[in-house]
Copies of this chain bind each other. A is one copy, B any other.
Amino acid sequence: MTFKVTILGSGSAMPTAGKHNSAHILNVYEQFYLIDCGEGTQIQMRKYGINPMKIRAVFISHLHGDHVYGLQGLISTMNFLKRATPLYVFGVRPLEDILDFHIQYFEPELNFEIIYKEINARSSEIIFENKVMEVYTIPLRHRVPSSGFLFKEKHPALNIKKNIPEKYDLTIPQMHALKQGGDIFLQGSEILKNTDATYYPYSPRSYAYCSDTSYSAKVADIVHGVDLLYHESTYLEVDRKLAKQSGHTTALQAAKIAEKADAGRLLLGHFSSRYEDLELFESEARTIFPNTSLAIEGETFEIPVKNYQQF
């Protein structure tokens, strides 16, 4: 039931040692997802014990080099390691053309299939779903089409309260019906309401990745109630004008989004290399949203099982 994010990089523009470009690894039930892929991402994966072969899907927020330059190297390494499993790649146009171009020159004999899924950066849509998770896009405001991603754990299966089967002498089909969310007809006209007989053992968890973007209140609505919100904060409030001009956000603005979204926790990243002391980002954001942390590369942020209960 793992649900955690490992930061491989959260520096903006020029990558440097210790300040690699954007790349997050989301581990959901031991399935691995890569969000953005700056130069050196595969090197960071090795450094922090992430096996590139375990990546199921890659989500690219937008086509600026510091978010995508590591992808061709990662694909070459997967091919070198004889990957056979298909790799899903989500991104805006013309990411597919760019990948095809590289593959044609550098990996003409690709051992595995790349399943490209074009996303649009204008509306929030579901783009991926499996048994335990759904992924939605988050329209962002940047100099080029840019989309965040909201990863939502699905509701767990309903459990039947301990005493119920014996109390009502339920049959297997009846218990199955309850687990599917249905009510049960008992003797005569009596009805056993599903809500009286079942419960969710825990609440679904969620993680949102929002980079790159200007301050956008709409983002708060889309990610409302998210447990862990990663929001870019390229600049400090003192450089707010610069942030607006370049399509980025300040730490204070990111905190406003987290507060408006009633997020559980805020992660700041995509720091401009102009700032020496990153603590300033944390302290600025905490004036509005106390539960703020810096997305320092190599750190992992786990979202523990929520509202665990049993009857």
Listed in ascending order, the chain A residues whose CB lies under 8 Å from chain B are 13-17, 20, 39-40, 42-44, 46-47, 63-66, 69-70, 72-73, 76-77, 80-81, 94, 98, 101, 105-107
Inter-chain contact B73/A16, CB cutoff 8 Å: no
Chain B: minimal CB distance from A146 (Å): 15
Q: List 19 A-B contacts (CB under 8 A).
A: A13-B77, A13-B80, A14-B46, A14-B77, A14-B80, A15-B73, A16-B43, A16-B47, A17-B44, A17-B46, A39-B40, A39-B42, A40-B43, A63-B106, A64-B106, A65-B72, A65-B76, A66-B76, A98-B101
Q: How far is the CA of A44 from the CA of B106 in the complex (A)?
A: 23
**Complex copy number for this chain:** 2
Inter-chain contact B69/A73, CB cutoff 8 Å: yes
**Known contacts A39-B39, A39-B73, A72-B69; A94/B98 CB under 8 A:** no
One of B17, B20, B105, B107 near A98 (C-beta < 8 A): B105
Q: How far is the CA of A284 from the CA of B17 in the complex (A)?
A: 33
Q: How far is the CA of A283 from the CA of B271 in the complex (A)?
A: 46
Nearest residue (CB) in B for A78 is B14
Residues in B whose Cβ lies below 8 Å from that of A17? 43-44, 46-47
Q: How far is the CA of A80 from the CA of B101 in the complex (A)?
A: 24
Chain B: minimal CB distance from A108 (Å): 11
Nearest residue (CB) in B for A77 is B14
Q: How far is the CA of A251 from the CA of B176 in the complex (A)?
A: 67
Nearest residue (CB) in B for A74 is B39
> Which of A15, A17, A69 has the most chain B CB atoms closer than 10 A to its own CB?
A69
One of B43, B65, B72 near A106 (C-beta < 8 A): B65
Nearest residue (CB) in B for A98 is B105
Residues in B whose Cβ lies below 8 Å from that of A40? 15, 39-40, 43
Residues in B whose Cβ lies below 8 Å from that of A16? 43, 46-47
Residues in B whose Cβ lies below 8 Å from that of A43? 15-17, 20, 39-40
One of B20, B46, B64, B73 near A65 (C-beta < 8 A): B73
